[in-house]
Structure 1
C-alpha cells in the first residue's frame, strides 16, 4: 500500500513546473482525481487536483492560482490516466487543459465486473482489503486553507488507484470483459458535452405544481434572476433561495412586494436581502408577452408509466424487450443500464424501425450512441421481443377467422 507523504498544496507556477519534472521521473500510469465544490459554488471548476505516480509520489495542485495545466497535459499525454467515475471529472479537468488520451475508469470497471457497490471506498475495500474513509467527499473544496484531514483524504483517493487498476485488469481478463471495458473507456473519452438546455428553468424541482402559462412565466423569471445572482456571487443557486420557494411564489403569485415578504414558503438566505430582485422578477413574469408553453419543448419521451395509455404497443414492446435484456444482464453480471442505456431502449421501443429486425434495430441503436458490444449483445433480443409482441397483438384477418 502506498504511504501518504507530503500534503502541501502546490499553488504557484514555479512549484507546479517543478512537479512536472518529478512526475516525468516516475513510472507507469497516473492516478488522478479532482475535487469540486458542488452544492456550494455556482461553478463546477476543480478546486483541487490530485495526481499520484509510482516513483514520483503524490501531488496536490490548487487549480485557481496555477491556471493553465497544458504543460502537465503535454508531459503525461502518452500515459494512461486512472480515474474513478471519469465522466464526473473530465469536464473540470478539461477546463484547465488536462485532457487524457487513454483512461482506465475504476468505477466503470466495477460496474462491468458486476460488483454490488461501485463507490471508490467500497471497491477498494472489497478488492484491496483497505478501508478508505469517505467523510469529506461532500466538503466545500473551495475552502482555503484546506484542512490537513481533507488533504490526507484527497491523497489516498489517488494513491490507491494504480493498485486497484491492476487488480481490476486481472478480473476483467478472467471474466473476458477486457475488450468491453476498452470500448466503454473510449466512449467516455469521446462523449461530447451535453448541449445547453433550451429552457433550463424547467429543471426547477416541483415545477409540475405550477399551473398556467402566466405562472410558468413567473417561475422562469425568478429562476433567471436567481441564476444571474448565483453566477455573480459564485454560489450554488439553491443556497440563495431554494427551488421550493421559487415554485411557491410562482404558484401563489403574491400581489405586492409586501405580500412576497410575508409569504412563509418564500425563504432562504437571500429571500429577504434581495427582495427587490425577486419582486422585480415576478413583475417581469406577470407582464411578459413571451408566455412559455405548458409542456416543455424537445424530443423527450413520456415517462414509461404513461406509455400504457399513450402508446400501448410501445409499452408492450418496452416491457418485452426489457425482460429479455434483464436475463442477459444477470447472465453476464453487467448492470442493465450498462448493458444498454435505458433511453436507447425506450426510444427504439417507442418508434421501432421498419422492418424491426436485428440489423435495423442495431443501426438505430448505433445512431443513438450504443457501443458495438452493446449492439451485439442486445439487438437480436430486442428485435425478437418486438416480433413476439407484434404476433401476439396482431388482429386476425378474415382469412384467419
Structure 2
C-alpha cells in the first residue's frame, strides 16, 4: 500500500501536522499571512524613525517605534502621503497612523501598510501628559515623603546629558568652580527623539548600580514640548522612582515642567541651578566655618567671663573667704547649748532633791520609827511562817512567840494570858438650855 500523496501543497496543508507529515515553509508563511490579514485596518501610535524616500519609487519606508519600549514595526506608504501631512515628518515625530498589517511570505516579514498619517498636536500631547500625571499621582509616585535627601558632599556625581551639550558644560564647569575636587561620571545620551528614553534608561541603571555615585543629575537645555517628551515618558518616570540613588531633574528652563520634575528627588530650575544644589561652594563653606569658629570662640569667652563672675561671687561669700566663721559660730552655739543644758540639768536636780527631801520628811513623820519614838511598840508573831505584825487578840493565842520592837531595840516574849478591852459606856448628852430661859 502506498502512503498519502504529499506533493500537492493543498493536501499537505489540510493533513495533520506531525513529524511524519511536516508543513513546508511556504505553507507556514501562508497560514501566518492569513491570520495577520484577518486583523484588518487598525490605528497605531508611535514615533517615526528612519524615514526613507527613494526617488522614482512608489513606496516610502519608515519605522514606527514604541516610545515606552524598545519595539518597532516597519511601515510602508505612498510618498504622496508623506508629502500631504500637515506637519513635515522628521525623526522623533509623534504620529497616529491608520494601516493594515501585511505579511510578506517570501521574506517572512511583517509591515504596516498605512493609508493615513496624523501627527499628534501639542494639545493632544499635553492632554496625554496630563493623563499620565494623574495616573502616577494616584499611584503615589509624586509623594513628597518618597523624596530622598541629597548628600552634603557626594563622592561622585552621575550626569546624564546630551553629547557636548551646553547643559553638560554648565553643570561640570559650575560644580568644578564651587568644589574643585568633585568627581563626575558623565554619560552622554540623546535627549530627544525616539532613542532618547532607551539610552537614558540604560545610563540611569548603570549609575544607580555604581556605589561611588551618590547623586544623579539628568540635564538638558530648553526646548519645545515635542523635544521634552522623553522626560515625560512613563518608563523613565517609573525607573527614576525605583532608583536607590537620589535623582535631580534639570530639564530646560524655569517655565519647562516635564513630569520628570515631579518624580525626581529634587527639581532644579536650570542645569546651573542643579550644579549649585548638588555641589556646595567651598568658599562659602569655608566662610561659614570661619564664622562658626568666630562665633563659638566669642560664645566661649562670654561663657568663661560669666562663669568667672559666678566663681568670684562665690569666693566673696564669707563661707568661702573665711570658712572658719562657720566653725566659730557653731562652736559658740554649742557652748551656749552646753551651758543651757547644764543649767537645765542642775535646775532639774535641785527640784528633784527638794522633792526627795520633802518625801523623806513625810516618810519619817509617818514611818514606824517616829511612832516608836513616841512610846509605841510593834508586836510581831514569830512562831508562824511568815512572821507578821499582830493587830488583834485573835493573833495572840496563849503560848504564841512574839517579838516586841521598841525605839531603841527589840525583845522576845510569850503570850500567857490575854485581856479583851471593855467597850466604853455611852453617856446621855445633857439637854440644851432654852433659848428664852434663864442664863443659869
| TM-score bin (small chain) | under 0.3
Question: TM-score when scaled to structure 2?
Answer: 0.22
Indicate the structure (1 or 2) with the bigger Cα radius of gyration: 2
Question: TM-score when scaled to structure 1?
Answer: 0.23
Structure in which a larger fraction of residues adopt strand: 2
More relative contact order, 1 or 2 (CA 8 Å, 6+ apart): 1
